[in-house]
Each structure stands twice: as structure tokens, then as C-alpha cells.
Structure 1
Amino acid sequence: MKSWGPGRHYSSSRHARDATSGGLWGVPWRLGGIRPQVLLVLVVVLGLISAATVYATIQARGTADAGAAATASASPGAGGEASPLSATGPTATDAAPAAEVSPSAAAPPAPAKPAIGPALDAEINAVIQANSVYKVGVALVDMSDGEVHEYGTKSKFVAASTGKILAAEAYYHLVETGKASLGAKTGASTAGQQIRQMVQQSNNDSWALILAAVGHKGLTNYAASMGIPYDRTVNGLTPAEMATTLSGLYSGRLLNAENTAQLLSYMQNTNYETLIPAAAPPGVDVFHKYGLLNGNLHDASILVQGDRAFVFVVYTQGRDMSDMAARTNVIHQLTSTVTAGLF
């Protein structure tokens, strides 16, 4: 029987050599009989060479693509700005959509209305200087910082009926310390009713009753607790001292919340609304106490709009009651100047 061993068959058969000539196996067969183990090694070597060639090609192409991407990333786009995508980051189609920005969040905050400063100081001083025929003193306090600003005359005036606020605060203080009562019989009514008449209607009889209940020494000591030297027989206050009594009241430093609210309510819709309230713009609440005595015409107020509050005091002194209309106009000018600058 003829043997079909691989070495003998492929080495002696012309048909086999012709069938593989020009193909992958042509070379080894032309070299003569070669063991299959050798052929296997050659195949593996050729495979490794081919794989290495493919890998080198891929690496070269990837490097070229990365360089192109980096160049595109750094190159300016429309408007001359560089693209925000990096070479190693997501493509434009893969990138997450940018977060939307609310117009209100993006817009800068509205500038706050300027507080008391050089511009307003100059305007107030200009009004005072234009009316130098009268003695005029002004005090202004921004309740956000409590600083007292003074203009014009800084010495004491006869406080007239603006001093009634100090008397009312002193009596409320006695009530809060257990030494008096708003329900106590005072004159023909109660102490609480007398305070209302004294502040809202500027009743002098009610004032006398409250002063008697507080006492001369009691009122002097109470004023001194705020740093105010006060003599009831003279009833003298500077505009700044009057402003101190009002800022202490409105801030709640002097009285409890209930008594503060009650006294402030009496300072609205009074029997004389022709001074500061008449010149205040709509939307600004005015709590005030006017004073009118001989040549003295005053108004001491708290101006409030929203969460902003200012103490504004104007004291004036003229010849007598004959120039009251002119000084009323001065108070209106100052009120318009201050409210325009602060609200």
C-alpha cells in the first residue's frame, strides 16, 4: 500500500507543488521538503510581523487625529474666541447642554439708594444758607446705623411742644418699671388718655398732668439716661437731642413693643399736618410731633418707607409768628430735599 505521509507526498508530487506555487506556501515548497513544525513557526512569525505593522499604523493615525483635534480646540471660532471643548473632552454632540441662567440671577443687583452722604449734606446746607435770615437747625439719622448728622445751628432751641415726646417716653418707662399705670386716674381721665391728647392734639393741660406724674427730677434723670442734659423749666433741646429721643423710640431701645407702637400711632394724623407731612411724598409714612411757640416753629419726625427709616428733625426760630408761613416753606424745602435724596 502506498504511504500518504506528508513529507513524502508533498516532496514528490508535482501537482501539489503547482497547486501552491505563487501562494503563501510556494516559497517553502520550492525550497524543498520542510518539516511542518518549521512551517508553523514561520506562520507565527509572519503573523506577528503583520500585527505589528497594523498596530504601528493605528498608533500613527491616532496621533495624527489627536493633534488635529487639539489644533481645532485651540483655534479661534466665530467671534475670535477659542473653542471650549478640549482635545480629550467630549465632542460637541456628546457634550451635556449648558445650564440655563435665569435673567434675574444673571442681572446685577439694583444699586441701593445712597445713604446720608456728601451730596445730600451739601443740598441740606444750601437750603439752610439760602434762608440764613432764620435760625435753622436740622438733624438726620439713618436708622440702619444710628449715626446723627447735624446741619445749621447745633445749639439748643426752646423745644416747644416737641418736648412732649420726651415726657410721654418717661411716663411709659415708669409704667414698664412698675411705678405707674396707663389706667391711673389722671385729671378727668386716665394717664393713657392724657398721653394721647398730649401727643396727638398737643394738649398743654394733658402735658402738665403727665409732667406732674413723672416729676421734675424723674424727667431730668430719664433724659440723662439717653445722654441728654434737660431742664424742664427751660425745655431746651438741640435738634440732635430731639433726634436721639426719636431714634431710641423707633428702634425699640426705650420702650417695649406695645408701648412703642402705641406712642407712634399717636404721632400720626395729628391736629397739625402742614409741616413735614405736607411735603413728604406719597408712600412715605410720617410719625411726628410739631412745636409752635412764639418765634419757634419745629417739626420732629420719623420717615418710613418699607424697611428704610430715617429720623428727620427741623427746628427754626424767627422774629415772631409773622414769618411762620416763610419758615413753613423752609421746612417744606428741607423735607423735599431729604426725601428726594433718601427714598
Structure 2
Amino acid sequence: MRPRGSAAGGPSSAGARPRPGAAARELEASAGRYAGRYGVVVFDPESGSGVSLGGGEAFTAASVGKLPTLISLYRAAARGELSLDEKISLLPGDYQSYGTGVLHNFAPGTEMTLRECAYFLVNKSDNTAWAMLDRRLGVENIQAEMREIGARGTDYDMGVTTPEDVFLMLQKISDPAFTDGELSGEMISAMTDTAFEDRIPAPLPPDVRVAHKIGSYEDSYGDAGIVFYKDRDGTERRYFIVVLSGGTGEGSARAAMQEISRVAYEALAVPRRGAPEKKPEA
């Protein structure tokens, strides 16, 4: 059982182009400074440039593996197979007393909408919400959805995925054509300002928005997200970043993810935003 715990784009038109070759070297050096095994995918959809370091390798998904559940729920809503306003009750068999989340403190029989349950799933990384949505959707159907989108390195039931598959999931979440504009926006909103902001978001400026999902299980840690920033003209831009690790400790993995996030931001966003203004001397 699973643990419960390159597309194309046009060239950049604002500011300097990203530096994929230099970024790849810096990202590889960053990952190499920390204990464990790392898989990294960084992709800029506007220029079509990206970096994949061990992107096809298998890693324990941990709670990054909640993204297939989120995708399957919202895809089913887009198809008209269910309503996100449908009520779901918390049953005794749903309780997951270990790991992350808050719903294990709620009384049996508590009702919430599927939309609310999905928010707990990704914003609080709630394991009880995961069990509830697995029950509603069916594990086999979630795995089938992964096959449908092309995430063939992902075994949902066994809790295994690859950085490139997780990147594909993030693409689907952010693509209005996959669900619709409103549903895509809901997923991104639920993944923003989460209970766990100490990895990819931590080294970034406060005006940068990150929609992401973390994972932690035994010696495996990860974070995967969409980074939204504004260029020097005020136009919103974005890039994707996935970091999965294995055979490491939480402190080391956190430091590695923060450094990798900083390197990606400096390679992709800083050239477009321009150098920060210097404060006037007193």
C-alpha cells in the first residue's frame, strides 16, 4: 500500500532570456551539496526552456502524492460526474491519526463539501481528507486518471512518482483547458499560502506567489509548485519547479530545496524583473 503520510513555448519578450545551461549547472551543484538523492525539474513555459535532473527517476511521493487526488476530483467536476458542492461525511474508517492535518480532531459524522475536503487535502496536507476523497473517487479511478494524462511513472497505490510526472500534474492543474478557468483557479488558490511554506517559497521575495504541495515520509521529502511573479512591466509570469528527494533527513532536504528554489528564481525571474532598486543612503 502507498504511504499515507517538455512542452513548447514562445521566446521571452520582457527582459533578459532565462539561462537554462547556467541554471542546470547551478541546480546540479546545489543538489550535490546535500546528502541524499535528488530529482529536479524546472520549466519556463514562455521560453520553452527547462532543466530536468533525474526527472525520470522514481521517488517516494509522500504527500506530493495528494496531487493526483486533487486532479482527479476537479477533472470529474469538469466532466459533470460530480459536484464540488456535494457533501461528504467523515466516517470512522477515514481517520488518520498520524501525519499532517486537522480533520482527525473532528467528530465522526462531520459533513463538508468535496470542495472543502479538497482544500484540507492540499492546503493542510490532511491525511484524513485524503482517505475521504480516496473513498469517494476510488483509488483505481485516480490511477486511471494518471494514465490518462500521461503520468506513466506514477503508481498511485504504491506512492511512487517521478519529478517529470509531478511537473505534468502541475501543468494540468494550471491549464484552464484541462478543467476550466474557475476550477483551475480554485486548485491554485488552495495550494497557495499553505500550512507548509518552509521549502520552495521560503527564499523568495514576499510579493512572489507559490502554489505548491509538499511531501514528507520517512527519508523522503519533496515540494512541487508553480511560482508566479511580475516582471518589470507588471505582467504576471510563472515557472514550474519540482524537487523530490530520498535517503536524506528533513533539515538537509529543506535546505537543499530552499537553495534549488533560489537558484531557479535567480535564473528565471530576476532577469525579467530587473535588479532590485537600491535603498537611498541615509
Superposition TM-score, scaled by structure 1 size: 0.63
Q: Are 1:118 and 2:21 counterparts?
A: yes
Which stretches in structure 1 are left out of the alignment for 5+ residues? 1-109
Q: Which residue of 1 aligns with 2:41?
A: 139
Q: Distance in 1 between matches of 2:84 and 2:50?
A: 32
Query: How far off its partner does 1:146 sit?
Result: 5.3
Cα pair distance change 1:115/1:248, threshold 3 Å: farther
Q: String of CA shifts for 1:207-228, please: whole Å, max 9, x gaps.
A: 1111222212211221112111
Query: How far off its partner does 1:340 sit?
Result: 0.8
Q: String of CA shifts for 1:217-256, please: whole Å, max 9, x gaps.
A: 2112211121112322212110111011102221323211
Query: How far off its partner does 1:176 sit?
Result: 1.5
Q: Are 1:267 and 2:191 counterparts?
A: yes
User: 60, 63, 76: which is aligned to 1:174?
Assistant: 76
User: 203, 206, 221: which is aligned to 2:144?
Assistant: 221
Q: Which residue of 1 aligns with 2:156?
A: 232
User: 58, 61, 64: which is aligned to 1:159?
Assistant: 61
Aligned CA-pair RMSD: 1.8
Q: String of CA shifts for 1:91-134, please: whole Å, max 9, x gaps.
A: xxxxxxxxxxxxxxxxxxx9723225211111111112222x31
Q: Which has the higher contact order (CA 8 A, sep 6+)?
A: 2
Q: String of CA shifts for 1:156-175, please: whole Å, max 9, x gaps.
A: 11111112122111111111
User: 228, 231, 241: which is aligned to 1:312?
Assistant: 241
Query: How far off its partner does 1:330 sit?
Result: 0.8
Cα pair distance change 1:163/1:332, threshold 3 Å: same
Instruction: Give SS of 2:25's match.
Output: helix
Counterpart contact for 1:157–1:236, Cα < 8 Å: yes
Q: Distance in 2 between matches of 1:150 and 1:272?
A: 25
Q: Which residue of 2 aligns with 1:197?
A: 120
Q: Which residue of 1 aligns with 2:129?
A: 206
Superposition TM-score, scaled by structure 2 size: 0.77
Q: Distance in 2 between matches of 1:253 and 1:231?
A: 25
Q: Are 1:335 and 2:261 counterparts?
A: yes
Counterpart contact for 1:297–1:315, Cα < 8 Å: yes
Q: Distance in 1 between matches of 2:19 and 2:73?
A: 33
Larger radius of gyration: 1
Which stretches in structure 2 are left out of the alignment for 5+ residues? 1-12, 90-110, 231-235, 270-282
Counterpart contact for 1:143–1:247, Cα < 8 Å: no
Query: How far off its partner does 1:153 sit?
Result: 5.9
Counterpart contact for 1:148–1:243, Cα < 8 Å: no
Question: Identity, % of aligned pairs?
Answer: 23
Aligned length: 230
Counterpart contact for 1:175–1:182, Cα < 8 Å: yes
